[in-house]
Amino acid sequence: MPSAARTLPLALSLPLLLLLGPVAAARAADGWSLAPAGGGRPAFYAEGAPGTVVQDTVSVTNRGSRPVTVRLSGATFARGAVRVPARTRADVPFTVTVPDHDRGTRILARDDTGGTRSLPVHLRSTAPELSALTVEHVTVHADRITYDVVNRGTTPLTPRVAVRADGVLGRLLDLPPRTLPVRLPPGSRLHLTEPWADPPALDAVSVRLTVTAAGGAHDTAGASARFVPWRGVAGAAVALAAGGACFVVRRRRSRTTDRLTSDAPCTEAELTGATT
């Protein structure tokens, strides 16, 4: 049997029995049946805080004249397969874990001929309903905004998101709250994307996301980004570099021309005062 910090007996829920009425244990014409141990219960019922490990026992009764081997699934069993001699009953302990919310499952038994029996298991969480979420990993891209929503509570959530973006000169994006087409179970994380069809070409932007859900769940997160037209900047840089190179070449050519002019021989006529 697996160990557990908290193990409780699986209790019969009288209100549920009154609602469901008497139900016979799973039986078969070939002589074997499946039922909760102890008798008097049509199914298994358990409740507790999420994560509580609950223990009970299922009985396999063979009323036939030949042995039968039954394989069990749907819970954690002390023995996954049990061989029951003729006119004998085998009791098999098992455990189940209470989930974060109410859930139903079944214990399934199958013999070597393919015959099956099953019993319902009703699990009820006694945890208080808590609606809570967080918004994480907000990132601004060239054409979209990505973020994660995490359900930190005990109830499923259908979140709503509002998006706001401000630049140096004012508001750039203002999307009112809208319901997202997702359902977020307790403890789960969802990566989402908000498209941005017309981002600025040149600006310093601050983005803020506000996510809410029923029950008062609320969180806000943001991110900053700089939009720079790198192609235009690169083109301007190339043009400036080319202009500077031309200036340097011209400057060198001018200096070379001046130097050649200053080094050329100069012939002057000497005036003696005599004439021919």
Residue 84: CB partners within 8 Å, gap ≥ 6? 32, 60, 61, 62, 67, 68, 69, 70, 90
Nearest of 138, 139, 141, 162 to residue 150 by alpha carbon? 138
Calpha distance 163→193 (Å, rounded): 11
Report the alpha-carbon distance of residue 24 to residue 27 in Å, rounded. Answer: 8
Q: How far apart are CA 69 and CA 67, in angstroms?
A: 7
131 alpha-carbon distance from chain centroid: 17
pLDDT tens for the chain, residues 1 to 276:
343 334 445 543 433 333 333 344 444 445 899 999 987 899 999 998 888 999 999 999 999 999 999 999 999 999 999 999 999 999 999 999 998 778 899 999 999 999 999 999 999 988 788 899 999 999 999 899 999 999 999 889 999 999 999 999 999 999 999 999 999 998 899 999 999 988 998 999 999 999 999 999 999 999 999 998 865 444 444 445 555 555 555 666 656 555 545 555 544 433 434 333
In 3D space, the residue among 104, 106, 30, 115 whose CA is nearest the CA of residue 71 turns out to be 115
For residue 184, what is the DSSP state?
A: B
Cβ neighbours, 10 Å, residue 96: 21
**In the block, residue with structure tokens 């016979």:** 24
pTM of the model: 0.49
Question: Burial code of 37-53, b = ≥16 C-beta within 10 A, e = fewer?
Answer: beeebbbbbbbbeeebb
Q: Checking DSSP bridges between strand 116-125 and strand 44-48, what pairing results, if any?
A: parallel
Location of structure tokens 């209790």 = 11
- What one-character DSSP code corresponds to residue 51? T
Q: How far apart are CA 205 and CA 215, in angstroms?
A: 32
